[in-house]
Amino acid sequence: MTSITGINESYRWYIKDHLGSNCAVMDASGNLSNCKSYYPYGREMDMPPYANGSVPFEGIVPSGSSFSFSSKEFVTQGNINWYDFGARWYDPYKIRWTTQDPLAEKYYGISPYVYCAANPVNLVDPEGKKIYIRYTDEHGKDLDYCYEIGAKYFGRDDFVQNVVDALNNIYSNGGQDVIGALVDSPDAYTYLNEVYKYGNYAVNGYNDGYIYLGNTFNGGMDVASKLESVAHESFHAFQDYMGQGGISAFNEVEANVFAGRIQINYAFRENLLSSNSPATRGNNTKYGIFYEEAMKILLYNESFDRAAFKQAVQYFKSGTDTGAAYRNYPMYIKNTKVLINKYWPKKLWE
């Protein structure tokens, strides 16, 4: 194939094993052009040319880099010979990380420098990225897709695709600091296509969070409303990460404001009508009027209004249809700080 620049170009397909390691390269005709094999901990085997003329694929990736073991880049500059896993560097010759595992306190029986709990044949490292999307494959097996910022999903699971799209849209519509914090968190946050009878967000004993979205993508909501729902629950996960998770009117209003502004930004950029969720609207009482007035200021003003936020929290329980479910919970949790002020989704509409 010749490009418009006159340079000959050709397509290549990278064949991966069950760990995601690049093991072979095929050309457009299906011919095996390059091969590579690894010892269990990632060190490359010295391999002679194959009978069909294929050779180990050294230097076929641009700039001489090699994305090989576990699809990670093997860096050779300065004879470092380490894999770049994003969060940490890995030395396949010494079979250890160069820095400690950020989750070391949860695994006292394992060295903080050991790779994949000393089980490299079956396990891979999620490179410190801690947002997962759980789905069921065609064989009925539960799998976790590890989300990275700006991810492009090429699989066939609709739930994974929906959540990836929603997280990318939250990030690009004012929620970059919140999504970035969850991705870089040492705790794991997993999005599930299930319905949880006690709410849509839960935390286990290890501070790992589960976001239940069964009602979000299995219902009849429009795209903007689905985005608002994912943004709302993601902010609850962020509150937990920041040390003030729990059920309260304050936390609910913060999540409402964050999600509402994300939804409005998205609707503006996509030329859609924004229809805020019932949680951002007041009921047919005088308290509902007070709540809705405060939310309009918070949702549409350029900057954060502390007085309006305080008013929205004050009238959330009595002024919204959803507030009744929170009447037995506190208005504030001890040592609560305003997060939405610092992590305010900037106004993208005119």
Tens digit of pLDDT for each residue in 144-203?
888 888 988 988 899 999 999 999 999 999 999 999 999 888 778 889 998 887 667 666
Instruction: Examine residue 73 and state whether it is found in any structural domain, yes or no.
Output: yes
Model pLDDT, residue 305: 96
pTM metric for this prediction: 0.67
Residues 256 and 151 in one domain: yes
User: Does 245 lie in the same domain as 96?
Assistant: no
The answer to whether residue 331 sits within a structural domain is no
Domain check: are 198 and 253 in the same one? yes
Instruction: Based on the fold, state whether residues 317 and 177 are members of the same structural domain.
Output: yes
In a domain, 2, yes or no: no
pLDDT of residue 205: 44
Tokens coding 213? 């979205």
Q: What pLDDT band is residue 120 in, cutting at 50, 70 and 90?
A: confident
68 vs 158, more confident = 158
User: Quick one: 304 and 162 in the same domain?
Assistant: yes
* Residue 50 lies inside a defined structural domain of this protein: yes
Answer yes or no: is pLDDT of 267 > 50.
Answer: yes
Quote the pLDDT of residue 9: 66
Q: Which of 90, 118, 146 is the last residue of a domain?
A: 118
Stretch 92-102: mean pLDDT: 84
Could you tell me if residue 334 is inside a domain? no
pLDDT of 55 higher than 80 = no
Asked whether residue 192 is assigned to any structural domain, the reply reads yes
107 and 138 both lie in a single domain: no
- Is 168 part of a structural domain of the chain? yes
Residues 177 and 79 in one domain: no
Do residues 271 and 308 share a domain?
A: yes
Contact 295, 304 (CB under 8 A): no
CA dihedral sign, ordered 324, 330, 332, 333: negative
Same domain assignment for residues 153 and 301: yes
Q: What is the mean pLDDT of the chain?
A: 82
Q: Are residues 206 and 137 part of one domain?
A: yes
Same domain, 113 and 160: no
Number of domains in the chain: 2
Q: Which residue has the higher pLDDT, 59 or 66?
A: 66
Q: What is the pLDDT of residue 25?
A: 80
Provide the residue range defining the domain that includes 313: 131-326
On whether residue 348 sits in a domain, the answer given is no
Is the predicted pLDDT of residue 204 greater than 70, yes or no?
A: no
- Is the per-residue pLDDT at 124 higher than 80? no
Average pLDDT over residues 223-234: 91
Q: Based on the domain organization, do 96 and 147 belong to the same domain? A: no
pLDDT at position 343 is 94
The whole-number average pLDDT for the span 95-104 is: 79
